[in-house]
Amino acid sequence: MSKRGINVVIIVFGIIALLMIIASKYLHIKDLNILALIIFLIVSIGLNIIKFIKFD
């Protein structure tokens, strides 16, 4: 994996983390199951992005 690819992944995860913090404050997600599902989806998307960058 190139240095640029790693930076892209870090930026993507950073943006997602910020969105999650904002969402949790505004939506007041108290159900941990929903939060866990969202985290799982984000991680799976992130892993797909990493795979895409590796093949690129």
Structural domain boundaries enclosing 40: 3-54
Look at residue 4 in the predicted model and tell me its pLDDT: 75
Q: Where are the alpha helices (DSSP H) in the chain?
A: 3-27, 32-55
Burial class, 33, CB count within 10 angstroms (exposed 0-12 / middle 13-18 / buried 19+): exposed
pLDDT of 47 reads: 79
Encode pLDDT of 1-56 as tens digits. 577 777 777 788 888 778 777 777 776 656 667 777 777 888 888 778 777 776 65
Q: What pLDDT score was predicted for residue 7?
A: 77
| 32 half-sphere exposure, CB direction, 13 A CA radius | 0
Number of domains in the chain: 1
Q: What is the pLDDT of residue 30?
A: 64
CB 13 within 8 A of CB 46: yes
